[in-house]
Amino acid sequence: MAIDLYSQQEETPTWKKILLLSGIILVSIVLIVFLFNQFSKIPKGNIAIAEINFELNKQGTAEQLEKQKLVLAAEKKINKFKELSNTKLYFNSYFDAFEGWVYPRVSFLSASIDAGTAEVILKGKTDTLQSVMEEMILLDAQSDVLSYTISNIIVDTAVTFDLNLKVNPTLFKQENTK
């Protein structure tokens, strides 16, 4: 007599069924949590990290920030120098014109120039009073001399005098030679 082992089905114990069901539920929960994190939480985190990295890249590294400060300081200094250069007074035109105003027998001992008000104060010396008169004639003929005053004329072995000139302010402006 042969016993048929396969015809009889043994019933699995309840604790094995509960263990199998708990394992399936646990694997399902882990799988659901994994998929939720993979498709929801992690992309949001990646977007936040990308935004933070973008902001950090805009700010630059500490070395880049230091270079940026250095460049901005240099730019300020260059702009100040440019402003100073643009307001610089040029005396070339004045001295070129002044050569034509001077009578040959008159020499000037000192000069004071106020380019802001376009006034020139000169202390002159010549051999005769006639030379002072010739100097006045030359100054009258000059279009760049707006007005003049001769004062403190002292006649001794030589004639000394003070000459105050009001000149055209454009003589102190930059020439357009470029």
Q: What is the pLDDT of residues 130-161, one digit of tens each?
A: 888 888 888 888 888 888 888 898 888 889 99
pTM over 0.85: no
* Whole-number pLDDT of residue 28: 94
User: Could you say which residues of the chain have pLDDT below 70?
Assistant: 1-9, 87-91, 174-178
* Whole-number pLDDT of residue 178: 38
CA distances from 36 to 26, 41, 57 (A): 15, 7, 31
* Whole-number pLDDT of residue 19: 92
